[in-house]
Amino acid sequence: RLFREFAVTLSAAILVSLVVSLTTTPMMCARLLRPVGERKPGRLFLASERVFRWMLAEYEASLAWALRHSRLMMLILAATVGLNVYLYVKIPKGFFPQQDVGRMIGSIQADQGISFQAMREKLSDFAEIVKSDPAVENVVGFTGGGQRNSGFMFITLRPVRERRASVDQVIARLRPKLLQEPGANLFLVPVQDIRMGGRQANAQYQFTLQADELADLRLWEPRVRQALGQLPEIADVNTDQQDKGLQTTLVIDRATAARLGITTRMIDQTLYNAFGQAQVSTIYSTLNQYHVVMEVAPQYWQGPEALKSIYVLSPTRGQVPLSAIARYEPTTAPLSVNHQSQFVASTISFNLALGVSLGEAADAINQAMVQLGVPTTVHGSFQGTARAFRQSLDSQPWLILAALVTVYIVLGILYESYIHPITILSTLPSAGVGALLALMAFRTEFSIIALIGVILLIGIVKKNAIMMIDFAIEAEREGGKSPEAAIFQACLLRFRPIMMTTMAAMLGAVPLAIGFGDGSEFRRPLGIAIVGGLIVSQLLTLYTTPVVYLYLDRFRLWCRRSWAGRARGAALGAR
């Protein structure tokens, strides 16, 4: 699903380019190009031509040396394939690049027994701490909503050129200051353009525990949360399990209440009239009507001591103090019990530590779960963005393999050969090595955007081999040249278009690789992967592709002789 828009856009662009290349380009060449004798080359053209001739001469000499040392070239190609696998395993992996759009969202989680008035003061304290940071421009927050002990904060940062710090660095800078506020925590998350599913949480990534029984969940959730809180790879570990909310439990002396003629229903109705905001009447005016709502004054419901001032109307004894027939005691109760897939669940949300990839954090969490020895009745799974990342990570090798198989089938149909497509695909390992090395050099994760760059490289890089092999096959068939002479001539004649197309593609990706501004982090891995892959593939494929072509051509001839010998043997045996 993540690649659908990319595939549609790329396919449409290629189809339009195909139509333009077959129609508009020849027409423009006929109208705009002039004969060679009428051209007056300028200084820039003459200088670039001298540089190109020098490069061509050097390439011709080095290509001849590479063809004489073909075994060394094959060893380099084999090492490139192995290096691809090693780098893919080692490189830090992420889902989408962490963007810096200049905005943050904060989630406040306070003690479960906090009052609304105290929560309002916590919000003001957090707002002052955040405003004190020089990178912050504006702060807006509110409390209430789903739960009394929660709140939200929306923070706008100054432009990047003014604050000289990324959003992750700002969060890391504020985190120690926010931890000094007693009784509440503020978790900051940078706003992202793309966020995948999951329930609402106080941090960016989610890990959900599910259990068969509620008791097992309440026993193991604090242990898992404590273990995850000690991992250096993650920060801001918190949970949505709210099982310690304060409540006042009223214990009724039923014998005394019965002796006074007071029923439980009477007590419920009295408490509802005092604290339930009951509508007792309606006042009608000429143009409007007003509901009359009865409740005790606000100063009488600030604490459970107000129950001492409540009187229950007895049918036989008149007004009876509530304290004469009941007592109250503080107890705890869950504010909410979450479920997922019909099982009780608790979601532990977390943010990444500065400089840590999502793949490294996920591996650390899985290892911690194994070390804890969590029973089979309690099982954890990633949710939201983290779950989509795990699914994309599992499908990445298959996605690349599917692209390679598709390219092989199409090239096999076009060339009517099983061998030549393999020669063309031999150019791809060098592009993968270049992309991975470039990402690691710039400390960039291998994300979905980088994977898109690798898929684009499959289409860009293989055109070098297509131009060489297409000319070599034509020279062999029509010119009667040997494979060695044909591929050597093809490399020299196609050197200029190969350099032109590679430089055009690479320079087109440079703005993506060095882009600045809000949200540029999202596009940067694409440019880095393309530029790095093109540089390394250009250096290697100019030498490895001719060598692979000759080896596979010899293998093709050997197979033909073997099949011909078997056919003659079968014919003689039939006689």
CA 516, 521, 525, 528: dihedral to nearest 10 degrees? Answer: 20
Structure tokens at 230: 């000690």
Give the pLDDT band (50/70/90) at residue 39. low
Q: What class does CATH assign to 245-333?
A: alpha beta
Instruction: Decide: 451 and 528 in contact? Cβ < 8 Å.
Output: no
Chain centroid offset of residue 251 CA = 53
**3-state DSSP call for residue 155?**
strand
**CB-based contacts of 212-215 (< 8 A; 24+ apart in sequence):** 212/343, 212/377, 212/378, 213/344, 213/377, 214/337, 214/344
Pairwise CA distance, residues 489 & 470, whole Å? 12
Pairwise CA distance, residues 385 & 80, whole Å? 33
Pairwise CA distance, residues 70 & 64, whole Å? 10
**3-state DSSP call for residue 314?**
strand
Could you tell me what percent of the chain has a pLDDT over 70?
A: 96
Nearest CA to 130 out of 148, 99, 105 is that of 105
pLDDT digit string, tens, across residues 81-137: 999 989 988 888 888 888 888 889 888 888 877 878 888 889 999 999 999 999 999
Is pLDDT of 75 > 90?
yes
Topology of domain 58-90+417-559, CATH: Multidrug efflux transporter AcrB transmembrane fold (1.20.1640)
Same-fold call for 100-191 versus 245-333 = no
Q: What is the pLDDT of residue 126?
A: 92
Q: What is the pLDDT of residue 344?
A: 84
Average pLDDT across the chain, whole number: 85
Give the pLDDT band (50/70/90) at residue 572. low
Helices (H), 42-186: 43-68, 70-90, 116-131, 160-163, 167-178
Instruction: Decide: 244 and 109 in contact? Cβ < 8 Å.
Output: no
Beta strands in 325-453 (DSSP E): 326-333, 339-340, 343-352, 378-383
Q: Domain limits of the chain?
A: 58-90+417-559, 100-191, 245-333
Q: Any residues with CB less than 8 A from the CB of 130 and at least 6 apart, and which? A: 106, 136, 139, 153, 155, 174, 178, 186
- Taking domain 100-191, whether its CATH number is 3.30.70.1430 is answered by yes
How much is the average pLDDT of 496-509? 89
The pTM is what? 0.75
Give the pLDDT band (50/70/90) at residue 199. low
Instruction: Decide: 108 and 185 in contact? Cβ < 8 Å.
Output: yes
